Amino acid sequence: MPRHMKKAYLLLIPAFLLLFYACNRNGNATPANFNQSILVGSWTLQKEHYVRNINGAVQVDTTETASAYATAKAQFNADGSFASSAYTGQNTLNLASTNIIAADTTKGQYAFSGSTFTISPSLAGFIMFAPIGITGTPPVITPVSNTEQITTLTSSNFTLHADVVVSYATASAVKTYEYVTDYYYSR
């Protein structure tokens, strides 16, 4: 092999290493620091992708979009507090009427530390989930893990990826439920 080709290969090795270290394990670039001030303000949920796994098997995989029947909003404040609400209805949504079939509101705190984002409790979304197929005595619910990560944050778009794992124990079985949700917001 000619000497100049050996040098070219040696230069490619650091370039590939830099590429691998610049990207996280799932292939998406992870910003070193999100600007918290961009998040402050009102956001409207446009789309929610939701997957529910039970004992590792996908049970539900669905996407809900904003419509006249479904609306959700989040308000992030500069002091680290937030409020979110979501409503779904049978007919065109009129929040003053009785056609609301599901509603969720949350209030809590959020924080940034470098690229780490924490929020408690989770944001309200279109899909309000509950265990399916459990009858009789209510299960003992034990949190296993809860991670939430901002994957996009610009002045006009905000995407949050949430992964919540809990175990449901009944007299007859213990099941592990995993709820994976991607929330797509815009201003």
Residue 29 is predicted with a pLDDT of 38
Identify whether the C-beta of residue 115 lies closer than 8 Å to the C-beta of residue 121.
no
Query: Same domain, yes or no, for 90 and 160?
Result: yes
Decide: residue 72, CB within 10 A, 0-12 exposed, 13-18 middle, 19+ buried: buried
Cα-only R_g, the chain: 21
Q: Residue 43: which H helix or E strand, with range?
A: strand 41-54
Q: Report DSSP letters for 85-96, one per residue.
A: EEEEESSS--TT
- Compute φ and ψ for 19, nearest 5 degrees: -60, -45
- CATH, residue 116: 2.40.128
At 29-65, the pLDDT tens digits run 345 456 788 999 999 999 999 999 999 999 999 999 9
Tokens of 101: 């079939």
Picking from 87, 85, 75, the residue whose alpha carbon sits closest to that of residue 41 is 75
Query: Same domain, yes or no, for 18 and 42?
Result: no
Query: Same domain, yes or no, for 15 and 61?
Result: no
As a whole number of angstroms, the distance between CA 68 and CA 73 comes to 14
Query: Same domain, yes or no, for 47 and 6?
Result: no
Query: Same domain, yes or no, for 123 and 143?
Result: yes
Around Cβ 11, how many Cβ atoms within 10 Å? 9
Residue 94 is predicted with a pLDDT of 54
Identify whether the C-beta of residue 104 lies closer than 8 Å to the C-beta of residue 183.
no
Total domain count for the chain?
Answer: 2
pTM of the model: 0.74
Residue 58 is predicted with a pLDDT of 97
Residue 134 is predicted with a pLDDT of 58
Around Cβ 15, how many Cβ atoms within 10 Å? 8
Query: Same domain, yes or no, for 8 and 48?
Result: no
Query: Same domain, yes or no, for 109 and 73?
Result: yes
Query: Same domain, yes or no, for 13 and 59?
Result: no
Query: Same domain, yes or no, for 58 and 141?
Result: yes
Query: Same domain, yes or no, for 68 and 129?
Result: yes
Query: Same domain, yes or no, for 1 and 90?
Result: no
For residue 19, the enclosing domain spans 1-30
As a whole number of angstroms, the distance between CA 52 and CA 131 comes to 10
Identify whether the C-beta of residue 70 lies closer than 8 Å to the C-beta of residue 92.
no
The fraction of the chain above a pLDDT of 70, given in percent, is 71
